[in-house]
Amino acid sequence: MATRTDRRTVARPARPAGRTLPVALLTVALLAPTLTPAVSPAAEPTAKASRASQLRFASLPKGYRQLEAIVAVVGRRIITLSELVRAQAQNTASQKLVPTKHVVRPRNARELLRQVLDTLVDNLLVTAAAKKLGLTVPDAQIDKHIKQLKDRNLWDTEELRENLRRMGFADIPAYRDHVRAEKLRVKMIRTKLGSKLRVAEAEVKRVMDLKYKGGTVEEEVRSQHILIKVPQGASPLVLNKLRQKAWRVHDLVAKKQISFTDAAEEHSDDEGTGEGGDLGWMRRWMLDPTFSKALWSLKVGEMSKVVQTPFGFHVIKLLGRREVPAKNKRVIEQMVRAQLMEQQFVKLYELWLSELRAASHVEVRI
């Protein structure tokens, strides 16, 4: 039977009778308005009639009982609400590991959580596959990563601990576990897909001839952007507030309550751009890949939705396109090869994930 504590419920392995599990109360003010009250297993028969409007309880692996809100079950592993909230804060960094289709950030907190949850489920499936193959990540790699993190930010151990806490990690050991899992997934992906990634030179040449006239020309675009900067180590609450701010600015422009130029002057955190967030004429290889992917998908005069990059949340407007002589044919070839490799990787990765999901027990509650 589920043990309830202030509407939040956790799964842990069941302990022998007579022993009580400690319950850590979690403050999730950000998410509370978006959650539908869960239906306990005991009330399942009564709830069947209204299942169309209720979120279904994911069945738990054998040997677990419920103590905190569970948002998904993957095989014998569960994902709790607190894990999902923490993952939302870490999502920017995690996206660097694997190319993602999620360029646009939803305005709705629930949609964003589902987006992040899908990634968590995929990560667990990949991790489980890695463990089946006996892949491991040595402690020395984790030690090196943490040392680089401290050196890059000039943090001592206490400053590291404090910044990790703001990011949602309970302590340094919890962060070490996170890094180990991330590195293990990368190792598994390389093992599974690395040998299959092949970009034929003929395909590179075809794209070069079609889009760049053999590497003699390339495209420049002129754009404006509004940046809502995300500070390093931002908490889930801060991240959510900044994302909502970006959407509010987007909506002001979309409803013509303010011009894009005025919105950039008033709200953008990017002090390095020209008047009204003007980025001038830029070539694709000069920009962040996520930013350029969103920008190059726009028509002249069109404004993007809210896009997230490692720098923060952006709203982008395309002002113009033009063809110019290529500065460096080799750079263009490298960019084309990388784009083709990413397209191939995403296709293979999605196919592999669909196979993993089909062969695994996966239940999602939100």
Q: Which residue, among 221, 199, 222, has the nearest Cα to 336 in the 3D structure? A: 199
Q: State mean pLDDT over 98-104.
A: 55
Q: State mean pLDDT over 143-156.
A: 92
* Residue 362 vs residue 20, higher pLDDT: 362
Q: State mean pLDDT over 304-324.
A: 94
This prediction has a pTM of: 0.65
Q: State mean pLDDT over 310-333.
A: 94
Q: State mean pLDDT over 117-130.
A: 92
Question: Could you tell me which residues come within 8 angstroms of residue 132 by beta carbon, excluding any fewer than 6 positions away?
Answer: none
Torsion sign (Cα): 174, 180, 186, 191: negative
Contact between 316 and 304 under an 8 Å Cβ cutoff? The reply is yes
Describe the strand order of the beta sheet including 312-325 as a list of residue ranges: 278-283, 217-229, 312-325, 307-309
Fold of 217-325: Chitinase A; domain 3 (3.10.50)
Contact between 172 and 160 under an 8 Å Cβ cutoff? The reply is yes
Q: State mean pLDDT over 10-30.
A: 31
Q: Where are the domains of the chain?
A: 11-131, 133-196, 217-325
318 token code pair: 């395309």
* Residue 13 vs residue 175, higher pLDDT: 175
pLDDT-derived band at 91, boundaries 50, 70, 90 = low
Distances (CA, A) of 10 to 25, 174, 253, 308, 350: 10, 18, 43, 31, 30
